[in-house]
Amino acid sequence: MMVFRTLCLVFLVLAKGCLAQLDVCGKATLNTKIVGGQNANLGSWPWQVSLQVQGFHFCGGSLINNGWVLSAAHCFGSYKAPQVTVVLGLYNLSGNNPNKVSRSLTAAIINPNYNSQTNDNDLSLLQLSSLVTFNDYITPVCLAAPGSTFFTNTMTWVTGWGNIGNAVTLPSPGTLQEVQVPIVGNRKCNCLYGIGTITSNMLCAGLLQGGKDSCQGDSGGPLVIKQGSQWIQAGIVSFGEKCAAPNFPGVYASVSQYKNWIDQVITTDQPGFIQFTSSGSNSDLQVTCNNLPPYTTPAPTTAAPVVCGSAKLNNLTGTGSSLASAGTWPWIASLQLNGTHVCGGTLISQQFVVSSADCFSSSTKPSDWTVKLGRLNQNGSNPNEVSVTVTNITFSQGDSNDIAVLQLSSMPTLSNYIQPICVDQGNNNFSVGTQCWAAGWGTGGGAQQTLQQFSTVIVNCGNTSSSNSICTEALPIEQTTKGGSLMCKIGQSWIQAAVLTLASNSSNSTNNSTNDSTNVASSNSTISTKSLPDVLILKKDIQTFTKINTFISFLKSTVDSFPPAVANSSSSSSSSSSSTSGCQALSSLSVASVFLSLLALIQSFVL
């Protein structure tokens, strides 16, 4: 019972940690006067906050996770953190606000490079006195990631409770204002303000003819832009020449320049950064004026060679099952049918993903499918995610356990969160006792349906032929986790040994003889052996997979080429290391088995 309670406590802690993460950013469920603007709809901009001193609004800000607000540094020239109240879910500055939540500040952290004379690096991070709960009226915004591009005339939105004209205050009841303004390129903006005024840490937006702009009281508020279904904050209201004056667009701190600093300050529940990419060409590059240096094309850089099996953020040790963290398995893909996750998959080159053939029983039409790479959560924020459509699906033609190869419409940019795995081509020795892993999205991933990871070890296949099969201790594979990868590390590289498939029976079976002590479960058959009742002896199931190298001729004819491994490791050396680690893995095997069995027991109690 004590073990049961301990496991329950562990899972409660894991669940709490999962729920404490950033659930979603940039989602404005209710989004269907700044100068020249209009009243916003209630709940349209749920990240907008009001900074107040003694009940009076003086600056704006944006909620970026459940405990931090992003604002401008110059807002704190006269006020200190203990004086300031942050009001979230606010719609009107006066009157009834049923969705309003207030927090005091425990810290106001000014960017260390802020220059009050030039307004460069004009941003601050504000720590709330306690965490807030997200709802339709209080939601964090996503932040523009490094490498984002905002070309001239890209349309953005600015929100706030500032003046609606020069020295014209917002009339009662002080309803939140919104205005749409186009990006003005930095070269053009420098020509207008004076060469050198606009730095690479700034963005400009506004109508050159004037009439629409942010104004006094809007400072610190967000400049946002929509990409897909998410709103991304590109800028922070900083300064301007009067308000909405012709040829003087508003100037904003460029959020994408500050990811490193923000991540250094906020070390837990970090905000979601998403790269925004403008379409078309950037006309600002052709802008010239007196004393403006000509634009020079950056020297081309040599791309790093593509390798397979590299997971720089994978620091796993030990055994068992747990929730994965971002970048642990950078080749794992979510295969989605018309927007719904169906199966897992594995990136095996820059443009090809392999999965189980029976994942496509509902549709074999490529246009129905989308591949999500860099994904961690099925629900919530995925700042490292790339979504790619499918142009072709090819199926192997074996007797059973066929695989499918999906050709992507484009090659995703590789990163610590998106990498191909190495495919075993028959030159690796997965000896008995080798520790391997599987990962996928199934039940038990918490509210965010976070990617789960499971350790196992290679075992003897018994009476099953090992020439085309590889056997492991049974894994909790579900419909939504199949298609993924059985992953084993050889040397410095992670190798895909098999494609995950469902077992027809993965439960312990019993009968009346002790001659055999192992049950074998495969994707197409179960070999039941005689054993004593479970109350007397606990049997371990064995899962059988078809080796991926069985399909190597098909894969080589379908995939253009496979990237090389991170480092070459000979079969003999890998076999030796596997034997050593295998003894350690086998010593903890019984613990892992009991752990998984107790998990099943917990589920039975809950149900």
Question: Which residues are catalytically annotated?
Answer: 74, 122, 219
Tally of helices (H runs) and strands (E runs) in the chain:
6, 31
Annotate 11-36 with DSSP letters as a single string.
HHHHHHHHHHS---SS--TT----BT
Annotate 23-92 with DSSP letters as a single string.
--SS--TT----BT-EEPPTTSSTTEEEEEETTEEEEEEEE-SSSEEEE-GGGGSS--GGG-EEEES--B
Pairing of strands 85-88, 101-110: antiparallel
Pairing of strands 101-110, 124-128: antiparallel
Positive or negative torsion for Cα 376, 433, 499, 489: positive
Pairing of strands 68-71, 124-128: antiparallel
Length of the chain: 607
Tokens at residue 346, please? Answer: 């594995």
Kindly list the distances between the CA atom of residue 503 and the CA atoms of 438, 444, 590, in Å, as whole numbers in the listed order: 14, 19, 21
Residue 433, phi-psi category: left (phi > 0), alpha (psi -120 to 50), beta (remainder): left
Report yes or no: 370 and 496 within 8 Å, Cβ to Cβ: no
Residue 242, phi-psi category: left (phi > 0), alpha (psi -120 to 50), beta (remainder): left
Report yes or no: 200 and 257 within 8 Å, Cβ to Cβ: yes
Those residues with Cβ within 8 angstroms of residue 535's Cβ, 6 or more apart along the chain or in another chain: none
Give the residues across from 388 on adjacent strands.
371
Give the CA angle between residues 405, 407, 409 to the nearest 5°.
160
Residue 121, phi-psi category: left (phi > 0), alpha (psi -120 to 50), beta (remainder): left
Report yes or no: 202 and 252 within 8 Å, Cβ to Cβ: yes
Positive or negative torsion for Cα 210, 211, 217, 219: negative
Give the residues across from 391 on adjacent strands.
none
> What number of CA atoms fall less than 13 Å from residue 528's CA on the CB side?
11
Phi, psi dihedrals of residue 508, rounded to the nearest 5°: -65, 135
Tokens at residue 269, please? Answer: 């529940």
Between helix 589-606 and helix 2-20 the angle, nearest 10°, is 80
Distance CA 373, CA 333 (A): 5
Distance CA 413, CA 192 (A): 36
DSSP, collapsed to helix, strand or coil, labels residue 333 as strand
> What number of CA atoms fall less than 13 Å from residue 255's CA on the CB side?
32
Report yes or no: 565 and 422 within 8 Å, Cβ to Cβ: yes
DSSP, collapsed to helix, strand or coil, labels residue 282 as coil
Residue with tokens 């006094």: 216
DSSP, collapsed to helix, strand or coil, labels residue 533 as coil
Tokens at residue 324, please? Answer: 């994965």
